[in-house]
Chain A
Amino acid sequence: MSTRTVLHEADIARALTRISHEILESNRGPDGLVILGIPTRGVALANRIATLISEFSGTVVPVGALDVTMYRDDLHRNPTRAPQPTSIPAGGIDGAVVVLVDDVLFSGRSIRAALDAIQDIGRPAAVRLATLVDRGHRQLPIRPDFVGKNLPSSSDERVNVRLAEVDGEEFVTIQGADS
């Protein structure tokens, strides 16, 4: 089983910096932005992006977490998982530009669930998607707006993301199937 590192710590930092600038550019500034991370690692990334956007624009941008466990369509096929907390920033999301943040975009089902969750919470003006890694193999018509790294992969390979806040170390690897 071969493991290859596709992003090192420095690569991740650069990708997040670029994504943060892209968000500001496409939104023409920080106004109306709400950054929501999808647990677990999406939350850490969302916090970093929100911090960077605040640095670059001089405006503090609200950030929170959106747990999608209750909205997944594949619950019955997996062992029951405990949900993580959802925390929506105090101003809510009505009329905001919500930027969802996740670590790996794969089938798109988590994002679909996130869109359903958002619908039950409020009515944003727009929803954008930022992901650190896009590894293809979409099962739904979902596309990211902001991507750290496009990573073509075969479906039996495994993509591992490690972040300092969650795992104590920092890298992205791709692990081949048993040969």
Chain B
Amino acid sequence: MTALDSASHRNPRTETLLIRGARLEGGGTGDLLVQDGVIAASGGTLSRAGATVIDAEGLVALPGLVDLHTHLREPGYEASETVLTGSRAAAAGGYTAVFAMPNTSPVADTAGVVEQVLALGEAAGFATVQPIGAVTVGQQGERLAELGTMADSRAQVRVFSDDGSCVWDPLIMRRALEYVKAFDGVIAQHAQDPRLTEGAQMNEGAVSAELGLAGWPAVAEESIIARDVLLAEHVGSRLHVCHLSTAGSVDIIRWAKRRGVNVTAEVTPHHLLLTDELARDYDASFKVNPPLRREEDVRAVRRGLADGTIDIVATDHAPHPAEAKACEWQTAANGMVGLESALRVVQLAMVDTGMLSWPDVARVMSRTPARIGRLRGHGTPLATGEAASLTLYDPAPTRTFSKEDLHGRSRNSPYLGRELPGEVRWTVYGGVVTVADGALLDAPGVRA
């Protein structure tokens, strides 16, 4: 039973929607008919008595976005975010599925915790919340967690990560890569050599030299990725690289793929746009791990995403309370919220620059993440018979990103006050409307 079945099961308010004149994936414009949670008809001009008509002229129709890297903070850090508030933020950003990272309290390293997170997501009903399991017990990097039991649980975990920390011990990483082959799992590595980044605060380079902030050198990411692709090749496993941020890392992935290594990589929206120059005012809104890098790195990851070396965009949505950011840089927490701004930033950095088309966006933000995470019912084409999880996006407007655009519990966005293009107009999750006419609904499917 996929999570989508439970959505329509718990929230019977699926609507019959007639979406008129949207820009469709195959090119051109057409209609979509949504009924009983699936796409009943697509393309051309459609009609249906009793349907709610949505005028989608000028709007791009995308399959519901799938985020392979989100921090929902529940259980344990509910002051920053909960599964409910986080999935609402996801829906507002056009997402219908998010993969929840396990660095909660307790850590999601057992079937019990991942099933709890799954249940919370189902109760919220705004998006599919697919738990990620920890690789090692407590994410301490010493012993493997019960990966198989998590895979067999109701949560059906397929992606495992110690994100926040690196699986540094090469033997543990090898064992983990080998072990998950039994259930088509994948290890998602947070590549950061801890010894080279002790006390690190920002990218190591000319800016960190001036600012007197301890540096996080690119080689600390690249050396782990290089090791891991060779390990994955050796044992014949899948590997996924989280939040890739440097030009060197792109080169290594490109080399590995040419060799036939089964590796995928993700890049965050902020690494497609922002550089370490933003640290100059010591504004901790820009403090993140991995850190913002140089202009050359931004250019390289953009090219990597455009040519397929980098497979997907993943937000690494990382909520933090105000006091963890409104303080001196050294004391501040790492992380930025990103679900609500992701599509708009990708448009600015990649579509408006001609590097990606809208079908490419569907590929990197929906289809491929779903494939990597083995999540059925998402990232599917907007074609008859497929699940009705989609987003209608208006690329035309330019608006200043403000607190009103944030729908999670935390406000730590680096884009506040910045002009971003585009607007999510409608999000439909398994036939249930979550965003209507640009406004996030209080409850899924319930409109005033």
- In the complex, A touching B (Cβ < 8 A): no
